[in-house]
Amino acid sequence: MSVINITKGNFDLEVKKADTPVLIDFWAPWCGPCRMLSPIVDEIANEMTGIKVCKVNIDEQPELAANFKVASIPTLALIKNGQLVDTSVGVKPKQMILNMLNR
């Protein structure tokens, strides 16, 4: 499944009302660590079924970043049944992200 870009306009439909867990990558184009994490997130999106993978550009969607209290990027947020269940800040190895998804 491809990565979905999240905005205020599609957040409710794609995240809050999702019937599968949602992994959100909060990032910015100027962020070096974000560019390191992005290919890992893309791999997970292409390899895993039963999960939705999304990205939020914090420069374009500052309200969403504020709603999730994103203080540093990259930040990953795991949403299940419309509720935040886990977060991770910084670049992490793929296996650590997969472990987060399987909790």
Helix axes 32-47, 94-101, angle to 10 degrees: 60
The active-site residue out of 1, 3, 28, 31 is 31
Query: Residue 11 has which token pair?
Result: 């957040």
Distance CA 21, CA 11 (A): 14
Query: Residue 45 has which token pair?
Result: 């999106």
With b for 16 or more beta-carbon neighbours within 10 A and e for fewer, the 14-32 pattern comes to: bbeebeebbbbbbbeeebe
54 is catalytic: no
The active-site residue out of 15, 22, 23, 34 is 34
CA atoms within 13 A on the CB side of 78: 16
Residues forming the active site: 31, 34
